[in-house]
Chain A
Amino acid sequence: MWSTKKKDDDVPEFCRFLDEDAEHLRRALRKQDWPTARGILEAADPEHRSHYFSVAATTVGVERWIADEPDSVLPLLLRGAGLLTSAWELRRDGLAGPLSDAGAELWSRLVRQAEECVDEVLRRDPGRADAWTWSIALSRALELPEQERRRRFQRLIEIEPDNWYGHEQMLLALSPRWGGSSEAMFEFARTRAAACPGTHIPALVVLAHREQIAHLAYLAEPDDPDRGEDLAYWEPEAVTDELWDAAHASFWHDDYEITLLTPIVWNNFAYAFAWGDFHKPAWSIFESIEDDWITREPWDTIKFFLRSRNYTRENL
């Protein structure tokens, strides 16, 4: 249903939205149907709500048509998040990447406008977790001091201690590509993994390693837009041991419940285990993922997903 092309039945597709409401949301927003979108965005469950907001914020152009509502900060927050999403595209390689003059000018303009929106939302509704998530994202766009980045994160986890998207943003806010350091990033991932056993959060450890690989690849080939990533990174025992522990703290933990965002956790660990030559555990996750729950990240292409899964199967 995604394109007019006929798809080969044997080739799986990415699960793009994790549930039907998220897909309806994206479609409603592309049609600029705000009443339908708002209905979905107002989900009561925090995890669903944060996921839907993330889908809305990454819908192209949403910031160009969303209209303010006097009684709700939601449109304002969505405009801010949309503006920042549009800004990130200019800095695919983080702060160090090259930027044209026009690109730099646009970056400053979008980030400044996003900041005005998010600040206003937090002034009117300081208890809104999604606003703190985007305020953490803004902190790295604005190159704010680490202390301020951490203060914003602290505010978030006072409201929602295991908000996945906020943790992801904080990991990036401490990453070497965004003015932090590998040490601070890994320390954050490990600390939060320990603090949130039986949740999605320990998957941050995989994210930290992926961010580290991307950072190393950038350092090795800063000018190559097609630079690849070194899969052998995952093989050393120190890495696999840590991931083993993280998996046990997350979806293998007795208290873990399978919820909306679980496929994100599965796919990250499947990738790390597959290329860490941890074939049996990797295979067990691929069996959970089946063909239905393949997320675009971290594979990017179905071809690479299949290659990873086949590699695991052949080495069982």
Chain B
Amino acid sequence: MWPFKKRPDDAETDTVKFNDLLRDQGARQLLRALRERDWPTARDILTAADPEHFMFYMWCVSGADGLQEWIPDVIRAEPDSTLPLLARGAHAISWAWEARGSGTSSTVGEDQWKVWFQRLKLAENCLDEVIDRDPKCAEAWHYLIVLGRARQLPMEERWRRFNRLIEIDPAHLLGHQQMLENVMAKWSGSTEAMFDFARTRAAACPGTNIPLLVAQAHREQRRVEGSDKYLRRADVAGEIYAAAHNSFWHAGYQRSLMTPMVWNQFAHALTVGRYFREACGVYDLIGDDWINSTPWRTTERFVTMRDRARDKADDPDLDPDLDED
């Protein structure tokens, strides 16, 4: 999910469409306001949001094209508000990524590195100032966690930031996902640290979105091992299945804004792990309305995997026209 620029909301094949804005009116209005550089409207949407929506909206802000050109004026105009400062800090990270590119470090030139570190430093300064003035700002901690790995900070500092976040919001999904990245081997963590983090946090947050981390850790390990066969292993597939039970299938789970993101990732993992029956249950929840581009990338891929699961699970089509009685 990081970095991102293009939003695949326009992708279309017949009736299957990606819906990365979670059918959220506020997110749509926010993106329009940001495109039009209409800060008063953006501010109203951001200010009225509950913590989960605010998390999602800041994610939209962080990817807004050209924000760096006009947000400094807002900061000057509203010196008492931390909101534009937070927006600038969060956005500067993806702006830095724009300079760096998403390849491995060997693909990055010397000048690009310079811009990358300048922009990350800008982000850090903005977010530090937000934290100085508003230490309970979960989103500032969330983006400071992202900076932890981008700026290659010591592990202790990455953990300090994460621990501050979960003191404020114990089940903050994007912050957890960012910390998972922080402890992966590719960001100078380790495989053990990654699984330990995912499992510990999943166990600490039953009935929330957080057990999704377990599926994501396995997905990273599958990338390392280079074959889906890893995800078909009985212990691996079974642990992902158990994670689904501890997340959205848990009796205490409450559906909210981010839930469809969780469904999509589990539907994919359960299908690859040959939990076809269970995957079908999740595809039913996703329906036509809640298909995210992550992790499918293309709508064709989504349709192929869904139909394969339904075929393997003997799940008949639910189209009411097909009912004889």
Contacts and interface: CB of A to CB of B under 8 A. Distances in A.
Interface of A: 1-5, 14, 16-17, 20, 23-24, 26-27, 30-31, 36, 58, 60-61, 64, 86, 89-93, 97-103, 105-106, 223, 225-226, 296
Contacts of B236: 100
Contacts, number: 100
Contact of A106 (B242, B303, B313, B323): B242
A91 B316 CA distance: 26
A89 B233 contact: no
A4 B303 contact: yes
Nearest to B249: A64
29 contacts: A1-B317, A2-B311, A2-B317, A4-B307, A5-B307, A14-B314, A16-B316, A23-B316, A24-B324, A26-B316, A30-B316, A36-B325, A60-B278, A64-B249, A86-B278, A90-B238, A92-B234, A97-B234, A98-B233, A100-B235, A100-B238, A101-B199, A102-B199, A102-B214, A102-B243, A103-B241, A103-B242, A225-B232, A225-B233
Contacts of A225: 229, 232-234, 237
A61 B310 contact: no
Given A3-B317, A102-B243, A89 B278 contact: yes
Nearest to A30: B318
B242 A93 contact: no
B234 A3 contact: no
A30 B322 contact: no
A36 B323 CA distance: 13
B255 to A, nearest CB: 14
A58 B277 contact: yes
A89 B324 CA distance: 32
B315 interface: yes
B314 A16 contact: yes
8 tightest A-B contacts by CB? A100-B239, A98-B235, A225-B232, A103-B238, A102-B242, A106-B242, A3-B307, A60-B277
B42 interface: no
A86 B325 CA distance: 29
A93 B316 CA distance: 28
A103 B235 contact: yes
Determine the main DSSP class of A at the interface with B: loop
A30 B277 CA distance: 11
A27 B229 contact: no
A102 B307 CA distance: 29
B323 A27 contact: yes
Interface range on chain B (Cβ under 8 Å from partner): 35 or more
Nearest to A23: B316
Nearest to A16: B314
Interface string B184-221: 00000000000000010011000000000010000000
Given A27-B323, A226-B229, A89 B275 contact: yes
Contacts of B214: 102
A60 B202 CA distance: 24
Nearest to A300: B312
A24 B325 contact: yes
B17 to A, nearest CB: 15
Contacts of A5: 307
B278 A30 contact: no
Contacts of A23: 316
Interface in B92-125: none
Nearest to A27: B316
A2 B322 CA distance: 10
Given A2-B311, A99-B238, A106-B241, 19 more contacts: A1-B317, A3-B310, A16-B314, A17-B314, A23-B316, A24-B325, A26-B315, A27-B318, A30-B316, A58-B277, A60-B281, A60-B315, A89-B275, A91-B234, A92-B238, A100-B242, A102-B203, A103-B235, A106-B245
B242 A2 contact: no
A28 to B, nearest CB: 9
B284 interface: yes
Contacts of A92: 234, 238
A97 B238 CA distance: 11
Interface in B124-140: none
Contacts of A102: 199, 202-203, 214, 239, 242-243, 246
B280 interface: yes
